[in-house]
Structure 1
Amino acid sequence: MTDTRSDAPLDRPIWHSLTGRHAALALGDSRAVRFRPDVNLFGAAADESPEALDALAGLIAEGGTLGLLGVGAAAPLPGTVVVSERRLNQMVATRLNRAARAVEIVPLGDADAGEMLDLATLTAPGPFFAKTHLQGGYIGVRRGGRLVAMAGERMKVPGFSEISAVCTHPDYRGQGFARALMEAVLVPLLERGEGVFLHSYADNPAVALYRALGFEVRREMTYTVVARG
């Protein structure tokens, strides 16, 4: 099982993603960083010092929100209120159990951004914004020219990439698109020596699929959304 020391990069995926491979999508400085608001709502402080927490709170626009993800309860940010706080499981795969049927899969990019946002808004796979696709690796399935399923990558920490936004239009569920897309994202990552992780609520019906693919629970995390109070 993956390292669960408190200093492991997977314990602080937002910080390690935004100060590493996703630095081009970051706002902030050495005290605190967040994704551009049109990309995602996640942010993290360098530590729990007052200076770092003040800096992170300062990255929340008036009327805006910020998502925090870590081990245990989030440190309070000055001038903010907690909108929601939920426990979820961080799952990791370092191998793949392949079983998907053949599905024609297409790459997705800027030209598909509107359709991607519409599909994510309909199916609610997690936070998704106008430029979330810039986090990388998005692919989809089309039927009759219409985008009906997609998946992509989100945070990236040393040695691991996160799979996210796996969703299928309700009219096209039960056809194996989610598994085919997840396998298509997983294969190139695993082949170049990366592990893959994701976050899911324990009662999510998709957990059965994740386990069938080869994911195992690494540890429980806390997902907190805060807003300017």
Structure 2
Amino acid sequence: MAHVLDNPVWNALISGNKGLSEGVDGVKYFASDVSPFVGFETLAPQCFGLLHDLMPTQRLLGVVSPAALAIPGQWQVVQQMQVLQMVQEAATADAVAEEARLIPLGQEHVPAMLALTKRTNPGPFASNTIAFGHYAGIFDGNELVAMAGQRLHPEPYAEISAVCTHPDYLGRGYARQLLQYQARRIRAEAGIPFLHVKADNTGAIKLYESLGFRTRKEMSFYIIRKAPNATQPEGQ
């Protein structure tokens, strides 16, 4: 039986993120202002064909796969990247240094969250990504300088996401503090923390390993959109 994290988006959209799920049988996705990720029950060509019928031309979509994919020709691959899927199988004994006050982030903080993610590029973050919930941040005065939250929730796993720190505030341990907070919160809710990180982001990987995260599998991420003038293949 396949591991739930081999198909994390689909399994999130039919379990922990079900309340944010749109789509039809076999193909589920988030609203465009929440997340670009789409989940397939199976990564079959006919599912890509069904998605083609459902999506507007210019929408960018994210597909996650445990192996390299041959993306059907009616789609254009905008970007492909290799990421490590890391799981914290057990809580660490790492001491928590409460160096800064963590503030729960709400709708009133969305402009600051968008500004921070635009500057730091931790991954897709849109005007309603906050709907995933559990975001917390660190402020310097009125400026949001670091944050992290939750994204995919393929039960019992919960993904820590949008971990980012303003460049002027690096080296203060904010990312570690936010990661520890999120991992503790997930475990308190009987979940298992996991995350995704670019395979070449050695600094972040080292930090995650120091907090007890271990690489479970290398995954392929694809950003796709409808190919210009593409037609639906026969039989799909």
TM-score class, shorter: over 0.9
User: How far apart are 1:49 and its partner, in Å?
Assistant: 4.2
How many Å separate the matches in 2 of 1:21 and 1:78?
32
Give TM-score scaled by structure 2 length: 0.90
Q: Deviations over 1:71-124 (max 9, x none)?
A: 112352452111121211100002233234212101001111111011001000
How many Å separate the matches in 2 of 1:48 and 1:143?
45
Work out which of the residue numbers 48, 55, 61 in structure 2 matches 1:53.
48
1:28 corresponds to 2:16:
no
Work out which of the two has the higher radius of gyration on C-alpha atoms and give 1 or 2.
Answer: 2
How many Å separate the matches in 2 of 1:215 and 1:79?
38
1:210 corresponds to 2:219:
no
| Unaligned stretches of 5+ residues in structure 1 | none
AA aligned opposite 1:56: L
Distance 1:28 1:145, change over 3 A: same
AA aligned opposite 1:99: A
Work out which of the residue numbers 90, 98, 114 in structure 2 matches 1:95.
90
User: How far apart are 1:29 and its partner, in Å?
Assistant: 1.0
How many Å separate the matches in 2 of 1:83 and 1:136?
28
Q: Deviations over 1:4-58 (max 9, x none)?
A: x6x1110001001112221221220112011110001100222244442222223
- Percent identity over the alignment? 35
Work out which of the residue numbers 157, 176, 179 in structure 2 matches 1:179.
176
Work out which of the residue numbers 155, 158, 161 in structure 2 matches 1:161.
158
How many Å separate the matches in 1 of 2:125 and 2:66?
23
AA aligned opposite 1:11: D
Give TM-score scaled by structure 1 length: 0.92
Report the counterpart of residue 146 of structure 1 in structure 2: 143
After the TM superposition, which parts of structure 1 deviate over 3 Å for at least 4 consecutive aligned residues?
48-51
How many Å separate the matches in 2 of 1:64 and 1:125?
20
Distance 1:105 1:48, change over 3 A: closer
CA-atom RMSD in angstroms: 1.5
